[in-house]
Amino acid sequence: MSNARKYDPELKARAEIGELLDVHPGALRNWIRKEYGEGITPPAGGEPIDVEVARLRRGNAQLRQANEILKNASAFFAAAELDRKLGS
């Protein structure tokens, strides 16, 4: 059995660009891995990605809730000011 991978012509053409630019294949591979976040370990003391995402989502939900409260308060006080001006 053959373990050879089959790549489409477009991918092969794009891969040749590194050779044309005289970029070492290892450097190109490292750039691609870095771009896609592969093989990158978080800094020491950093939290795992899924924990960070959950924390950020909670924070986002809290900010949305606070924003909604501020919108409602703003509308309430605007209406009260309008009533005060019309009542005069």
Whether residue 35 is found in the same domain as residue 54:
no
Q: In this structure, is residue 57 part of a structural domain? A: yes
Reading the block at residue 1, the tokens are: 């059995």
What percent of the chain is modeled with pLDDT above 90?
A: 28
Instruction: Tell me: pLDDT of 1 over 60.
Output: no
Do 54 and 87 share a domain, yes or no? yes
For the chain, how many structural domains are there in total? 2
pTM comes to 0.43
pLDDT band of 25, cuts 50, 70, 90: confident
Range in 54-58, 63-67, 84-88 the model is least confident about: 84-88
Sign of CA dihedral 76, 81, 86, 88: positive
The pLDDT value recorded for residue 83 is 86
Question: Mean pLDDT over all residues of the chain?
Answer: 81
Structural contact between residues 18 and 28, judged by C-beta atoms closer than 8 angstroms: yes
87 located within any domain = yes
